[in-house]
Amino acid sequence: MGLIQIRNVPEDVHRTLKARAAAEGTSLSDYILREVTRVARTPTPGELDGRIRARPRAGVTTAEILRARDAGRRA
């Protein structure tokens, strides 16, 4: 496993993280590891956009779908 060391953490941030960890009954290290893992596993907007653009197209345009929907209403 890798090792991450964070320096120069502002005191107020350190206090907040420590209090949140204590409120959950966990160590500061475990709390931060869980939060960093959550951040790393959550795709960024750019990553989501890339995934969406990489999906195969349906082969039907929005205009065609709307025309079919509207035609069904007139029938």
Residue corresponding to tokens 């960024």: 44
Distance CA(23)–CA(19), nearest Å, equals 6
Q: What's this model's pTM, rounded to 2 decimal places?
A: 0.67
DSSP letters for 1-26: ----------HHHHHHHHHHHHHTT-
Tens digits of pLDDT across the chain (75 residues): 899 999 999 999 999 999 999 999 999 999 999 999 999 999 999 999 999 999 998 889 999 999 999 998 775
